[in-house]
Amino acid sequence: MPDLPVIYVLNGPNLNLLGEREPHIYGRETLSDIEARCVGAAGGEANIVFRQTNHEGVLVDWIQEARTQAQALLINPAAYGHTSVALHDALKALSIPVIELHLSNPATREAFRHRSFVSSAATGVIAGLGARGYALAIQAALDIIRERA
Ligand code: CA2
C-alpha cells in the first residue's frame, strides 16, 4: 500500500490561547479540539502534522521542512500573516499546495488585519468560518493532492 500523504497544519502566535479568551471572535474550541477535527477530516487518508509556535523563525523552519516532508501545507499565520515578509518568502519556495486559514474574517476587522503577506503565496484562503474552516481546508488539500497525483 502506498504511503499516506502528509499534511502540515501550522499555527502562529497566541493560537495556543484559543478557548480561553475572546470566544465571540475565535470560538470556544481549543487548539487540541481543532487538531482532533483535522485528524477526523482526514479520515485516515492523510497523516496530519499539527503544530503551534509563538516564534516567526520557527514557522519559517517548519515551512522549509514541509518542502521535503509534506504533500500540502495549511497555515494559520495569526498576526504574522499581516506583518511577515519572511513567511511570504518561505511559502513562495514551496511547490506543494498551501492553504491560508483564519478562524475570523480579517477583512471585517481592524484595517491592520486587511493586509496579508501570506495570501499572495497561497493556493487558497479560508477565513471567517471558525474551526470548521480547518476541516474544509483538509478536504480541499486532499482533493488537490489527488488531482496532482
Ligand atoms: O482569525 C484568525 O484565525 C487570526 O489568524 C487570529 C489571529 C489574528 O491576529 C488574525 O488577525 C486572525 C490572533 C490569534 C490570537 O488568538 C487568541 C485566541 C484567544 C485569546 C487571545 C488570542
Q: How far away, in angstroms, is 11 Cα from ligand 1 center?
A: 10
Picking from 77, 82, 139, 85, the residue whose alpha carbon sits closest to that of residue 102 is 77
Mean pLDDT, to the nearest integer, of 99-112? Answer: 98
**46 touches 138 (CB < 8 A):** yes
Residue whose C-alpha cell is 470560538: 27
Which grid coordinates belong to 19? 478557548
Gap from CA of 78 to ligand 1 centroid (Å): 5
Reply yes or no on whether the pLDDT at 1 is more than 70.
Answer: no
Taking alpha carbons only, the member of 90, 72, 70 closest to residue 81 is: 90
Question: Where are the chain's structural domains?
Answer: 6-63+72-148
**pLDDT value of position 2:** 67
Considering only residues 25 and 2, tell me which one the structure prediction assigns the higher pLDDT.
25
Does residue 135 have its Cβ closer than 6 Å to ligand 1?
no
Q: Work out the average pLDDT over 55-69.
A: 98
Which ligand 1 atom is nearest residue 25's CA? 1
What is the mean pLDDT of the segment spanning 33-47?
Answer: 98
Rounded to an integer, the average pLDDT of 44-56 is 98
Sheet containing strand 6-11, edge to edge, reads 47-52, 6-11, 72-76, 98-102, 124-127
- Which of 11, 20, 26 maximizes ligand 1 atoms within 8 Å of its Cβ, making it the mutation to test the pocket? 26
Please provide residue 143's backbone torsions phi and psi, each rounded to the nearest 5 degrees: -60, -50
**Mean pLDDT score, 64-76:** 98
Average pLDDT over residues 65-70: 98
- 116 CB less than 6 Å from ligand 1? no
Fold entry, domain 6-63+72-148:
Rossmann fold (3.40.50)
pTM reported for the whole predicted model: 0.98
Is 102 part of the annotated catalytic residue set? yes
134 is catalytic: no
- pLDDT for the residue 21: 85
Find out whether the beta carbon of 76 lies less than 6 Å from any atom of ligand 1. Answer: yes
List the residue whose alpha carbon is closest to atom 4 of ligand 1. Answer: 78
